[in-house]
Every structure is written in structure tokens, then in C-alpha cells.
Amino acid sequence: MDRLRAKKSASFDDFTSLVHQLIKVAWGTEWGTFVQAFPNGRESDDVDLPIITYHSKRKRPGVVGNGTTEIKPRFRETYNVTENGKTSAVNVYAQRFDHDVLFEIWAENNVEADKLAVKFEDFMMTYTGYFMQNGVQQIIFLEQTDQTDVMEWKDGGICRSFKYLVRLEKHLEIHQGLITEIIGKVEALYANDLPNDSIDQESINFKITEGGNTQ
């Protein structure tokens, strides 16, 4: 049976959209605001508290298996697709990336900031499994501090900062039939520019039919 798609993956935007959607469902719409740091085009004094901002401080190749860093995309699997009665293969490559994600909680006073900090930490623990079901590879709590990491964005506001390691996997699906077609066109164009006795037809056929080095 043909597969419909490769294993689900999630981008950073997918992850933060999930957080936003779940907070709205779990906490309602009146609790405050969840937004990317920092709200563009808005003065900090015009933003009502409480507010939670987020951004990715750092992105780097992720860790797989026994601690190996995945420094480039690796082959994961092949599945078949059928279009117009023709079946062809799709090769799936993927690479994991580790994001240091900073969530900053802003509230009017220490009591409210601490209450929302506890609520947010419980939220992240509660829905970790759901995030992982939807393409997030791993979520690891790193630290909590009582200071903003970037600047005093909100005058008079109290900040609680949470840093998480969020491991995401980027998938790249390569349609083998399309690669074969492109290679064939490139080789044909290249061959037309050479004398007939200079054409290495065996090499061309190998690249197209046997999946030789196409780089």
C-alpha cells in the first residue's frame, strides 16, 4: 500500500502555533496575550499585562541516538506514490535541530508573575506528550530566572523567564522521478555541447537509472 506522507515533523512556527492554540483552549481568551518577542509596531506601555513572549535564542544541529550530532540531513526512508497510474519513489531525508527557546512571562507584580510562571510550567509539562505527537521530537526544561534575557521591555512589569530545549526535525522529501527527469535533461544538454566521441553514455545511463552521484 502506498504511503500518503512521511512521518510528521514540526517547524518552530508549528511548535509555537501549537502552544498558542493549546493555551487558548486550556486558559480561555481572557488570561492575557501570547506573542512572539517583541510585539512589532507597538509601544510596550500600550500592551496590557499579563503577556508571554517567545523567541528562539539559538538553533544548532540536534543530537540523535547515543549523543551523535546530526550535522547534515540523513536518509530516513523511501515510500511510493501513485499518480496518473504511475508509481514512483519518494526519498525522505531529515535533520534534527535543537532550539534554545525563551519564554518570558510579564505581569504587574511578583505575586501575579509567580502564579503565571507556575501555571505555565504545569502547562508545558501537561502537554509535552501532545507536542511530541505532533512532530516535536523532545522538550527539555533548562532553567527559570527572574530576569529578562534581552531588555527591560515593559516598564514596571515583572518578568519570569523560562528556557527550554526544543528538538525539532526537518523533513525533505525528494521525488526520485523528478530527479531522474532533471538529470536526464542536464546530461542531454551537456552532451549536445560535446563532440559525439566525447559523450560518456555509460556514465549518463548510470546516473539516471542507478542513482549514481548526482552532486
Residue spans of the domains in the chain: they are 12-64+95-173
Q: What is the pLDDT of residues 124-169, one digit of tens each?
A: 999 999 999 999 999 999 999 987 765 555 566 889 999 999 999 9
Give the span between the Cα atoms of 7 and 14, in whole angstroms: 15
Give the span between the Cα atoms of 106 and 115, in whole angstroms: 11
pTM recorded for the entire structure: 0.71
- The per-residue pLDDT for 200 is 55
Residues 6, 79 contacting (CB under 8 angstroms): yes
Distances (CA, A) of 197 to 64, 193, 201, 202, 203: 49, 12, 10, 13, 14
For the cut 50, the answer to whether the pLDDT of residue 6 exceeds it is no
- The per-residue pLDDT for 30 is 92
- The per-residue pLDDT for 157 is 81
Q: Which residue has the higher pLDDT, 7 or 185?
A: 185
Q: What is the CATH number of domain 12-64+95-173?
A: 3.30.70.1700
50: confidence class by pLDDT, cuts 50, 70, 90:
very high
Mean pLDDT is highest, among 47-51, 95-99, 150-154, for: 95-99
